[in-house]
Structure 1
């Protein structure tokens, strides 16, 4: 079995990072394991007091000796002064990464971690911060440090939804989880059985619609019909996930979980409580844990305040890559909208009502609920017009300089904005990062925009929780897609001035795609168990000073998935040569069944794969599985499993591998395809082959066995613009070149749960674990 031990992993839709199976995997030594154990324990139940005595003793004071840091900068000075004056964000208060006052303190804490010269200084600072610093700020700064500090290549933290389940699951679930007590839960179930649960009665006396008579029908009661258990319940089986088979094949896997009691609770999305409006139908997608954590890690890997040269982010074309990801996220969201009968992403206008409100139904770990936006909301009711005018001025300025065609910086440098290479300036500007072309104009506009929509003023310190203030929650809100559509409007305007590619630009002499066959595309909903042990209401047990992890709390949730599918390419090549094969998926029709002209449809294509292939002269047959896609990952090993593996390896009973089979920020494999229809959702693939002309080899300057090379400049398949050839406005006739190929397909949706509700399942009341997910 492969385990992830990497935080510097591949990011995004064009990162070609597939590790050869023949690669010799490194094995963690005892020093590594002890450090990894520290990371796992320091974030355990992070909102509770630290109870590991070893780390309590370690964290008595912050190291302020400047000689122990490579740099001791302004933000570190300010952080230390704020602590001494009692002006740090208090523990238990809401932390927003995009609240300006919070951001500056988090920056200082991150620098204390990042610039530490040795492990002793770093670990002491981390232990101190765990005890004294706001929990949200601590996790944000620590995650950034583990991602970017070169010495920590190979180390991981639990996924963000395992550290803070409150950011991802509705308040109803969180309340139930936090009050769960194994000693009394069986009595509670008996009460439910006797007084509330009609399913325990003889249902033969009722009609086929017997559940109609249940006044308070709960999610877990629906699940009872499927045999998935009652309320909280214990089940001596295994963690549900799509790749559980590969875990079961690992001999040591049974050893690590045999003594762990597993408790499950069913959880739905916000639909479980209320359909706030029609947009709630998409909650399974917008509130998906993988979807939201992808955006979170993207914005930590390429954090807007990290200097591109110092951290190597400029080598990865950080601005261009960020805005490309925004465009791809909007395109993927639009595909899901079409699958559910919705049309274009609604436009955002500054002084018009927002038709669709949003209630995230989240609760922060301090007990304060997240603010919500009612239907037909008007943001100008917030006031704060000075911030609003700054945001509007940002868009006005960028449109003006694009129309002018050039920008003159404060030091007199003239930048031609009608050249393809100027995309880096546009991307940096849109992200609001520190590499923007004019530092004078860099005024935190990106931070201010999120503050405005969250009703936060310039110098607000203690603020109400709002999804727009943290990367891991903002994709839940349908308004995100409307507002960020304004970002891509700027992006498209820049591309408009470049003009479309000509047929000569796209033609690859000597390469002809004769055919591409595609296996059946099928989507469905399956169940997955997310580790929410950090919510567990139970005392910690230590034996001989060692923490005993003997219980795990799991949230069992239905989520979108797809069956594996395959491509078979038939490509003729006039000679032996290397080429880059790109695969795109896009819609065919709009919500009214009208064909979308390619001129307008190009921006709706999502790149799902890219790889280099050595063509031989003559006919080439290439077989490619969706399991081989270079930027996706299946379900990850849970927090509980990883900790148990580290314990076992520390005792010399297991060889802990360092590889990147489960990168923290790869795109979820299961979300590659939109939901589809039972009769088939019409879509289309576009396959394109271009010359491989790079003067470097991928992975040439980093160990690809367990690194992803963020900041290396050699992570991507080539140096073509991201999204090429859909990165510019489309001339339809240019795309019909021999090395390009369109393929019409249909995506079929299969309702895997229907058999339980329609009484067509012979083992009614028993869940079918034999279903192949």
Structure 2
């Protein structure tokens, strides 16, 4: 995790100020055994379980009610379904938003969650790994590990490491699954022959040589870097943005020593604008970190979990969920603008969807994902009953917003023109368990996704569709079009709130005099994603212990930015604490017109917030993008974590619980939109508000390894999310001394230009200097 460092200027001298970091917790032997179990139980999850130790304990599901803190209806139905042989079969597509699948997954989750002790939990997990559908198993297990209080610190591999099929195209998956270590030497020879043909002495050829080679594809510049379309073995380091930290760590070098690493280039997310214009943004919408962020948000605040029982209401779950949707759309809009596109297309119930989408994904059972052709009409499904339910939901919600109150079935009256009611709106939009009128609002969200995926109420075996799982839906441009209707409701609610008066925003005694911002530069770099779960190789055991001595890595280009720093100059008339918020937003629309602030407030993304103890006088604060709250750099891979656990279990190293960033953190590298080579104009907004809270942030959980879900102290304060952009703006009241706008430009540097231009000196060899 990050340590926030700021500098304090006091009477002409600079003093270093550090936010106290909790002492790192070291895993004990019991913890390591549990962590090893979790890593092994999801290894090659679509294959039969090969660990004899876990096969032995997984012969039976524990059905003794005395072994559970609660044995509810969904557990009864799950057990009954198993006995009748009507559970979702293994290898069938699992959709978390298919109603019939969801009901069974809920029961399985409860068998995990309500287990009284680790032994009962482990037996149920091992049983489910053997007997239950793979997708349902991972979904329920992920929820249990996140939410079971006694499992704090335990982690699973990232979802794209458990199921690479949800994140990489079918061409890559087929290549990876065909890879066979035993015949690898033959492949080397084939590649060598191909390379000898492809890579000649380029000095004899014109600059156009690069574009005349056989089998040339624009985005596969890897060939010029010594990589083709098959696996390569290397002894070099894993590629990621924070690689230097690992290469200097002797423990890490011991962990990866002896592990054979195989790399395959995969780069289908750039230069594929053949289906329609929207595919130009696929480098962003299909980014693994972006999709994993949405997935884990919906695991942390799963729609069917009771907010009181699981503590989610402490985090203002409804408000946080709908605000995050708004922030995701704002960030997506920024990326559209950087590519010359405008507003996110509107969704109309009875009109065609102009932009189709081909996900190029294949489920692990070999069935490809369905695609949507251009100019598609959803009403052609003919399921008008479900369509009417979804439409009626929006109509009724707009009506009650206009009326200003809502009366629930138990007679409770909710004032919907009250700022605090945003939590109700968020609950309604997510259709979660805390929705007051469950009869009408509950499950609408699930039904909406089923409708757009062409799944009927009681369908059980369904075709794979990206809109049925959280880890895949954000790939589809339609996701942003449909979810824009969610934010329309969000803004409609906000419309009825009075704008902040100047006295509401003014922080007496605080003046932001200046903020210096370093040059903002984005580029594409390379990263290695661990796809060892696709490994087509026998599992080796020595003395009963699994030997993980090979790893498969998908080497992919992705958007990143160079680290940048802020230097705040803030004057305070006394010693006091304040909360500093940092927002980034566009300045112009796609036509170069300035976007008025009252509209543009919807497009600002909050990228940082922190508490600072101001001294009387001049305060100079230096803060790096590396210090941003709630963002994460590249995480340790599945392979590394497993081998680290093994060495720690042998007593060779300590295993710190902060070894990996919390699963819910936003990718640091996606903070900035792509920008342009000339510099794309953007603007920062900095705002300082008083700090007067009843709780200390992170006061009841260790933020170095925990996301603090359900703690009530995840956030910097209890102000509305997005404050002060959370209400309509009257500009003459909005500008206060403690707020500060700063015009900036985001510059895009083309990392790969030298390959296309024939300026790469080491033609045919991989260029490790590309890692910044």
**Pair 1:332-2:331 in alignment:** yes
Provide closer, same or farther for how the CA distance between residues 263 and 281 of structure 1 changes in structure 2, counting only shifts above 3 A: same
Residues in 2 aligned to 1:738 and 1:622: alpha-carbon distance in whole angstroms: 17
Gaps of 5+ in 1: 5-17
**Pair 1:26-2:20 in alignment:** no
Residues in 2 aligned to 1:41 and 1:443: alpha-carbon distance in whole angstroms: 37
How far is the alpha carbon of 1:214 from its aligned partner?
3.0
How far is the alpha carbon of 1:201 from its aligned partner?
3.5
Residues in 1 aligned to 2:458 and 2:198: alpha-carbon distance in whole angstroms: 55
The within-5 A match list for 1:144-163 is 144-163=143-162
Residue matched to 2:10: none
Residue matched to 2:710: 711
8 Å Cα contact 1:3/1:657 also seen in 2: no
Residue matched to 1:625: 624
Q: Deviations over 1:46-105 (max 9, x none)?
A: 000000000000100000000000000000000000000000000000000000000000
Provide closer, same or farther for how the CA distance between residues 142 and 661 of structure 1 changes in structure 2, counting only shifts above 3 A: closer
Provide closer, same or farther for how the CA distance between residues 160 and 744 of structure 1 changes in structure 2, counting only shifts above 3 A: same
8 Å Cα contact 2:401/2:493 also seen in 1: yes
Residue matched to 1:646: 645
How far is the alpha carbon of 1:703 from its aligned partner?
3.5
Residues in 2 aligned to 1:580 and 1:431: alpha-carbon distance in whole angstroms: 29
**Pair 1:656-2:667 in alignment:** no
Residue matched to 2:538: 539
The within-5 A match list for 1:179-578 is 179-194=178-193, 198-218=197-217, 222-228=221-227, 231-270=230-269, 275-578=274-577
How far is the alpha carbon of 1:314 from its aligned partner?
0.5
Q: Deviations over 1:411-465 (max 9, x none)?
A: 1111110010111111100110010121222341000000000000000000000
SS at the partner of 1:294?
helix
SS at the partner of 2:40?
helix
Provide closer, same or farther for how the CA distance between residues 214 and 186 of structure 1 changes in structure 2, counting only shifts above 3 A: farther
**Pair 1:756-2:755 in alignment:** yes
Residues in 2 aligned to 1:546 and 1:323: alpha-carbon distance in whole angstroms: 46
How far is the alpha carbon of 1:504 from its aligned partner?
1.6
Gaps of 5+ in 2: 4-16
The within-5 A match list for 1:735-750 is 735-750=734-749
Residues in 2 aligned to 1:480 and 1:306: alpha-carbon distance in whole angstroms: 23
8 Å Cα contact 1:3/1:661 also seen in 2: no
Residues in 1 aligned to 2:271 and 2:117: alpha-carbon distance in whole angstroms: 49
SS at the partner of 1:311?
coil
Residues in 2 aligned to 1:21 and 1:502: alpha-carbon distance in whole angstroms: 36
**Pair 1:143-2:154 in alignment:** no
Residues in 2 aligned to 1:301 and 1:699: alpha-carbon distance in whole angstroms: 17
Q: Deviations over 1:712-732 (max 9, x none)?
A: 211111110000001111222
Moved more, 274-283 or 52-61: 274-283
Count, aligned residues? 759
How far is the alpha carbon of 1:229 from its aligned partner?
5.9
How far is the alpha carbon of 1:248 from its aligned partner?
1.3
Moved more, 691-700 or 234-243: 691-700
Alignment TM-score, normalising by the size of structure 2 = 0.96
SS at the partner of 2:106?
helix
Moved more, 711-720 or 221-230: 221-230
How far is the alpha carbon of 1:189 from its aligned partner?
4.6
How far is the alpha carbon of 1:756 from its aligned partner?
2.0
Residues in 1 aligned to 2:217 and 2:537: alpha-carbon distance in whole angstroms: 26
8 Å Cα contact 1:434/1:442 also seen in 2: no
CA-based RMSD: 1.8
Provide closer, same or farther for how the CA distance between residues 682 and 198 of structure 1 changes in structure 2, counting only shifts above 3 A: farther
Alignment TM-score, normalising by the size of structure 1 = 0.96
Residues in 2 aligned to 1:581 and 1:458: alpha-carbon distance in whole angstroms: 48
Residue matched to 1:121: 120
Provide closer, same or farther for how the CA distance between residues 52 and 220 of structure 1 changes in structure 2, counting only shifts above 3 A: farther
SS at the partner of 1:658?
coil
* Higher RCO (C-alpha under 8 Å, 6+ residues apart): 1
